[in-house]
Structure 1
Amino acid sequence: MLKNYFKTATRYLLKNKGYTLINVFGLSIGLAAFIMLGLFVRVEFSYDEHLKDKDLIYQVYLNDTTDQIVNYAMQTMAPMGPLMVEQVPEITDKARFGAMANKVLKMNNQRFLVEKIYYTDESALNFFEVKAAPGGGRLSLGKRDMLLSQSTAETAFGTAAAAINQTVEIVGLGTFQISGVFQDVEDNTHVDFDYMISFENANDALFSGSSFKMDKTVFDWGVVSAFPLYIKLNEPSVDLAAIEKKMEVALEPHQKNREVKLVPVNEVYFSDLSHGYFGKKGEKDKAQLYLIIAIVILAVAIINYMNLATARYSKRSREVGIRKTVGGHKAQLARQFLTESFVITFIGLVIAICLVEICSPILSSFVGKSIGIDYGVPETYVVLLLITTLVSLLAGIYPATFLSRFNAIEVLSGRVTTGKKGSAFRTALVGFQVFICLGLISVTMIVQQQFKYMSDIDLGFEHDQIVGVSMEDKGVSEKYETFKTELLKNPAIASVTGASFSVFEGAWSLYLTPEGMEESLPVTYMPVEKSFVDRLGLTVSQGEGFPQEGELKTKEVLINKTAQEEFGWEEPIGKKLDGYTVVGVVDDFIYGSAKTAIEPLVMVPSKSGFSYAYVKLAGGNVRAAMDHLSATFQSFASDYPFDYKFLDDAFAAKYEKEQKLSQVFSTFTVLAIIVAGLGILGLSIFIAESRNKEVGIRKILGANMAQLIWLLNSGITKLILVVAIITLPLVHHFMSQWLDEFVYNIAITPLTLLLPLVVLIAVVWAILIFQSLKSAYSNPVNAIRTE
């Protein structure tokens, strides 16, 4: 019997190639989107789940209870870890981390600019199951030991074994010996490191390259909070609240008013408290959103199948009548139609897997993670079979029930009717498709408008043709004036000015006490060259800028308007700020991110100690200017390579996530419209077939082409308008909340919401008009011949 079902289903599908093609195409797109986004979400929710001690390891966060705003920080003081192991019985071990950024390593007669070098306790190797690479020796962390990842060792030395016992110099910190090589860290863990040295180097590492000196070290209390801390408990089933309380008690003599929060290691990746210290930070709401989008597209494809299957009831009803007349049971007929659904779904799945194989490298590159189907595990085939079965049932259950319920006598006598109930159900399905498409189009347009707005926003200073050059190299920073003079010898370079910060990566924050206030406030502290204000085109709205001639007055500072407002100064000129005198106010400019509010800012004139040079190009031959800049830098630099970034590119990089979100919505909106368009085409076929005789009669009675087209399509147009009344207010509500995350954002106007509606109606009518013209041009005699 089953063989007969498959044979009959295959014959029917081959006979009706257009119907089969539309269903297979729609389901394959839906399944491919579902599988790809499902794989991505699976990877996102797998972070640190492989750790065998995941139920024992926690990251520590601290909150200062004297602050009005609750703000848990991952940075702790270095002595805290040992203190907790000593005084809290449930804590058996600790692992602390610190990081040095953008350091140069000299190894194997090569120089490498390394984004991050981590110093940590040897226990971190056990916490995160770091394993030795083949030929990588024994992993240990003495004070002058260094561990490399396998990929790094192979890049620098050819093999892991060749790297063992080699000497490495970290510029500014000293020499280390490679004691071991470890296997590259798993992709699905929130930590990520290629270079590790012992935490014993923390004090030298933290202050490397700085002239700042202290009597104490970072291993003393009250010096600096800069180190993420992980602890391991003695058993998984513990009272976390009680342990947090014990930790607070142990910490009280050293850091008062601290509240402790422990986050399980397998929850750190998605935790709102985490800020991605190792460069990996997940957004659970985004992952869930992508999964919802995948399910929605698949649901739209399933709905298409239902609509197309039931739209052909007039052609299948006689088949059902004959089968029932010769003894077919309702259950047998239902199984026949479910078999057709299974065959179409299986073909769609095969095509979907091909699409996944083609598109997964693109998705992997886009999200920066390895996304793909693992054919080496049996679970893959079980999941694919379950998807096929479930989709087949969901897509086929209603058509099977609908088509198998016809009464044989009514069918063969020509009195069969679909009934109002079936029509209402199909209308609801199409309404759902319209809801999804209109919602996705609206959200996509708003996201794109917001991204464009941020890209074009007035930053408050000149950023066109300005290059930020890192001056970490002492050969450049200590000879800045000479370096600057050499640069300006080339007419392609208009100006050079120095600053001790990177504009879009923030600056130092100090607590200063404004005149007239008793409490100190956090203020962004920016030492800059006196020409900085003029060279970047900042607007001095009150007082004067830094004088370009005469002696440098390091105690005369500029503040921004936000600082003036925060300090409550109506007349800011001459006011004192912890020993500094305000001589001018500059208009606010964006120096961090457009997603956050501008902070109070004080700009202090300086003539040395700059870590960045901002070079204004004269225009014209940019390549010649960059060649001269690179050559000049390299002539002064002794260790660091030429590292630069155009300010325009640096600002755009701040909104990479928003850009990717915009691209994701755009891509899947197009897919949803394509799949839903197939469903609307199915509805137009259904409408045309069910009103075929009516159209013929109206044509004979004199109805013109426009009247017939409106007759066939007015229903779905009215449906779109009704659905829009529900959809657009929801879009306005949720997207307004999303836009509130940005300090600078667009306003959602009526036009913003009406434009997607117009676009959707235009797309729908473009689809409907084809079938409508076909019906309108058909010979009315053929339509009423049976009457």
Structure 2
Amino acid sequence: MFKNYFLVTIRNLLKNRVYSFINVAGLSIGICCSILILLWVFDETSYDSFIPKSDRLYQLMVNAEFDGKVNSWNSVPLPTYQAMKDADVNIKNAVVTNWGGEHLLNVDENPIMKEGYYVGEEFLEMFEFPLLYGDAASVLDDASAIVITESTAKALFGDEDPINQIIRVDDKSDLKVSGILKDVPSNSSFEFDFLIPYSQWRQASPWVVENEDNWGNYSFQVFLELNDPANEEAVESSIKNILIEHGEEDLKPELFLHPMLRWRLHSEFENGLEKGGMIDYVNLFTIIAVFILIIACINFMNLATARSERRAREVGIRKSVGSRRIDLMGQFLGESIFISLMAFVIAILLAQLLLPLYNDLVEKELAINYTSGLFWLCSMSIILLTGLIAGSYPAFYLSSFQPVKVLKGKVKVGKKASTPRKVLVTLQFGFSILLIIGTIVIYEQIQLVKGRQLGYDQTNLITVDFTEEIGKNYDVLKQELLQSGAVEAVTRSNSSITQINSNNFVGWPGKPEDQRVIFTTIATEYDYAETMGIKVLMGRDFSRDFVSDTSAIVINKAALEIMGLEEPIGTQLDLWGDKRTLIGVVDDVMMGSPYQEVKPMFMILDPDWTNAVSIRLTKGRALEASLAEVKDIFSQYNAAYPFEYTFVDEEFQKKFTTINLTSKLANLFAILTIIITGLGLFGLASYTAEQRTKEIGIRKVLGASVLSIVSIMSKDFSRLVIISFLVSAPIAWWLLNMYLERYPIRTEVAWWIFPITGLFALTFALIVVTTQSLKAAQANPVNSLRSE
């Protein structure tokens, strides 16, 4: 029986090559899209799941009231690290870390820059990153130790045994390799090439020691391991008010726990509660994958039912010789599952070929793991579900034919099946229209945000990480850079202009007692506004001509609007318990998220608080030549470090990574959805033209023109597109407005997008249908009427 079913399936596929191609091609593209999307989704949802204790690990976070709402952040005072160890019996362990960053590692004059963290000795016991050599319980105990990854060991020592070898870090500390880690997986929240003990950080940085008793400096990360995740609420309750108990009462700060398995997908908070994050994109693209697959299945259903008249006699004969309806259903479902299997094999080949391009697009290293049991389980599920969904309606429909009527030729199945086909085509176009509208709106959102005023000039502006050696030679370094002619201006600050590294509170005359506003904090030296190209609106910038500028302050326009000062210059502002004289007001500068309003900001003159050097290259000169001169000068005064820099405009573009990815994927899958829909529409239009051959022949004999015949055949499909537009347009408007709510700075869903999209969908459908209508309308009526 199965052999017979298989032979019938092959015979039908070969007999109807065009329709077989459309079915297999549509399903293949749909399954390929779904595989690629689900690879990305699986990678996003698998973050940190490789860590054995991931369900028991948490980051300590803070909720606090200011700017008129509850704000959440993941930096805490350093004393909370020790406080957590005794805070609750359900806390098994706690660890402190810095925020990570690049450091210079040097072995035998082979300097390389690598990413690393300062971490407490408990880090590897808690997070259990796999060690190839060393004991997690002791490998970070020695202040002079360093733990490196396998690839870092290879880069520094080649094939030599790295254990107990010495690495010079940042040209000032000689650390001994105490352990080797496997390379950290790409789906890890922690990305690093080495780890250095917190005790070494204490020795190298007096600032750390100074903050061990400071409950007001939120500059550290603390992580907890619980005995049992079921105790999360109890622990939160016991640690909630620790900051308040240590004098931090102004902001009413409350500690809470953020589970590790939610770090990647649920990273955004609003009024103290989780408010999505990457999970929104995971859900969005999962839905797109499902709908693309459904659209491909709709093609199969449409063509199978449309061509059911060709198989009506087969059903009648089988039933007349004793086949039961369930046998026929099994045959038709088996055929669709076989076609689904063929399509899946082709889809896998397509996906494998497209993976390099797709990885470049999504900036990941995704791969199909053929050795994974989960892969084969998902594959079988896709094949069976696709086959069953695509074949269910044709199976039920074809198996319902009555043999007596069929064999007498009294069943006109094509007309009977027209209503379900129309509904399915409407669904296809509805989803295509929704995706097209979505891609346009996302593009408009990107253009709106990218078109905002930056408040500074990104042209020829580069940033170099600050080092102690630069600090020692800064004045002479700056002088030589300016004298070289390759540089117009130089300054230094506590962060690059594309980042915000510090926030603080400022008092001003007339400030309401209950008003709490957070200010972006920029510590800089002279020439900051000039180097960045920031416009001074009132007063002046810091100047060497004024010794008193060490106790001065400059604010931005947003800060002035909040303060409401009528005569701001000369006003005394309160900062950290001291008075500072307001000497200038500068234009708003977009340093943080481009999707939010610019926050109030103040600048102070503090050259010792430096993390970045900003350099304005001379305009009109060749960039490569200018950079070569700058590199030569840096090699003299920062000799231990390789000259590495970032262009500010390129760094700024990284703020659009997620929305750019959304736009690219939406564009790609919208195009593929249209292709799948077009394939199905082509097949359906071809069949419709074939069914109406005799009608067209009679109309032509009676004098109908080619144009009128094409118009008649196109009318039904046009009506379906119009209905799908009327249904999907309001749904698209609602969904996109809900999507845009995540952005404080957002575009409007413009009315003109809808008619343009509707016109495009209608034109596309008419082009596809017209190709088949013209073919039928131009045929010789003698051939179609010969048998009448």
TM-score normalised by structure 2 residue count: 0.90
- Secondary structure (helix, strand or coil) at the match of 2:738 reads helix
Pairwise CA distance, 1:125: 1.3
Code of the aligned partner of 1:132: L
Contact 2:143–2:200 (CA under 8 A) maintained in structure 1 = yes
Letter in 2 for 1:15: K
User: Could you say which residue in structure 2 is the equivalent of 1:469?
Assistant: 463
Give the counterpart letter for 2:226 in structure 1. Answer: L
Q: Which residue of 2 aligns with 1:561?
A: 557
Distance in 2 (CA, whole Å) between partners of 1:221 and 1:470 is: 30
Cα deviations across residues 623-644 of structure 1 (Å, max 9, x unaligned)? 2112112222222213332222
Unaligned runs of 5+ in 1: 208-212, 276-280
Conservation of the 8 A alpha-carbon contact between 1:431 and 1:719: yes
Q: Distance in 2 between matches of 1:543 and 1:55?
A: 55
Which residue number in structure 2 is paired with residue 278 of structure 1?
Answer: none
* Residue number in structure 1 paired with 2:730: 729
The 1:439–1:517 alpha-carbon spacing in structure 2 relative to 1, beyond 3 Å, is: same
C-alpha deviation, 1:375, in angstroms: 2.2
Checking the alignment, whether the CA contact within 8 Å between 1:492 and 1:621 is kept in structure 2 is no
Gapped regions of structure 2 (runs ≥ 5):
271-275
Equivalent residues of 1:119, 1:197 under 8 A apart: yes
Partners of 1:231 and 1:550 lie apart in 2 by: 49
Count how many residue pairs are aligned between Structure 1 and Structure 2: 772
| Residue 715 of structure 2 corresponds to residue 714 of structure 1 | yes
Query: 1:690/1:483 Cα in 2 relative to 1: closer, same or farther (>3 Å)?
Result: same
- Residue pair 2:486, 2:626 contacting (<8 A) in 1 also: yes
2:221 to 216, 228, 251: 228
Q: Which of the numbers 239, 248, 253 marks the counterpart of 1:247?
A: 239
Aligned to 1:641: 642
Secondary structure, counterpart of 1:516 in structure 2 = coil
Match of 2:179 in 1: 180
Q: By how many angstroms is 1:68 displaced?
A: 5.2
Partner SS state of residue 69, structure 2:
coil
Change (3 A) 1:727 1:97: same
Partner of 1:668: 669
Counterpart of 1:227, as a letter, is F
SS of the residue 1:524 aligns to:
strand
Aligned to 2:283: 288
How far did residue 330 of structure 1 move?
Answer: 3.2
2:493, 2:607 within 8 Å by CA — same for their partners in 1? Answer: no
Match of 1:780 in 2: 781
Q: Aligned partners of 1:236 and 1:603: how far apart in 2?
A: 44
Q: 8 Å contact 2:22–2:680 — kept in the other structure?
A: no
**Aligned-partner residue type, residue 215 of structure 2:** G
After superposition, the Cα gap between the structure-2 partners of 1:644 and 1:411, relative to the gap in structure 1 and judged at 3 Å, is same
In 2, Cα distance between the equivalents of 1:577 and 1:486? 37
Alpha-carbon distance in structure 1 between the residues aligned to 2:262 and 2:528: 44
Change in 2 beyond 3 A, CA 1:612/1:119:
same
**In percent, how many aligned pairs have the same letter?**
31
Letter of the 1:90 partner, please give it.
N
Q: 3-state DSSP class of the match of 1:193?
A: coil
Aligned to 1:271: 266
- Whole-angstrom CA distance in 2 between matches of 1:746 and 1:595: 10
Determine if contact 2:458/2:649 at 8 Å carries over to the other structure: yes
The 5-angstrom pairing of residues 408-427 of structure 1 reads: 408-418=403-413, 422-427=417-422
Contact between 2:241 and 2:255, CA under 8 Å: does it hold in 1?
no
- Decide which moves more: 261-270 or 322-331: 322-331
Query: Whole-Å Cα distance in 2 between the matches of residues 441 and 696 of structure 1?
Result: 38
CA contact (8 A) 1:562 1:599 kept: yes
For 2:656 and 2:536, the matched residues in 1 are separated by 28
Q: Aligned in 2, Cα 1:726/1:147: closer, same or farther, shift over 3 Å? A: same
Q: Are 2:559 and 2:599, in contact at CA under 8 Å, matched by a contact in 1?
A: yes
For the structure 1 residues 255 and 391, does the alpha-carbon distance in structure 2 shift closer, same or farther, using more than 3 Å as the test?
A: farther
Per-residue deviation at 1:757? 2.1
Mapping for residues 457-496 of structure 1, pairs under 5 Å:
457-464=452-459, 466-496=460-490
Task: Tell me the alpha carbon deviations over residues 548-581 of structure 1, each in whole angstroms, 9 at most, x when there is no partner.
Answer: 8676744454432211111112332333223333
Does the 8 A contact of 2:305 with 2:414 survive in 1?
no
Instruction: State the match for 1:76 in structure 2.
Output: 76
Query: Quick check: 1:141–1:197 contact (8 Å CA) kept in 2?
Result: no
Cα distance in 1 for partners of 2:779, 2:318 equals 31
Provide the residue aligned with 1:210 in structure 2: none
SS at match of 1:503: coil
Kept in 2, the 8 Å contact 1:100–1:206? The answer is no
Partner of 2:166: 167
CA pair 255-264 structure 1, distance change in 2 beyond 3 A: farther
**In the TM superposition, what are the counterparts of 1:97-136 in structure 2 within 5 Å?**
97-115=97-115, 117-133=116-132
Q: CA deviation at 1:544?
A: 4.9
The equivalent position to 1:218 in structure 2, one of 198, 205, 211, is 211
- SS of the aligned residue for 1:75 comes to coil
1:148 Cα offset (Å): 0.7
Tell me the CA shift for residue 441 of structure 1: 0.9
Residues 538-687 of structure 1 aligned to structure 2 (within 5 Å): 538-544=534-540, 553-578=549-574, 579-604=579-604, 611-687=612-688
Preserved contact between residue 215 and residue 243 of structure 2 (Cα < 8 Å) = no
Whether the 8 Å CA contact 2:85–2:93 is kept in 1: the answer is yes
Contact 2:32-2:351 at 8 Å conserved across structures: yes
Contact 1:471 1:477 in 2 (8 A): no
- Equivalent residue runs for 1:320-399 within 5 Å: 320-399=315-394
TM-score, normalised via structure 1 length: 0.90
Distance 1:93-1:539 versus aligned 2 partners, 3 A rule: closer
2:401 aligns to what?
406
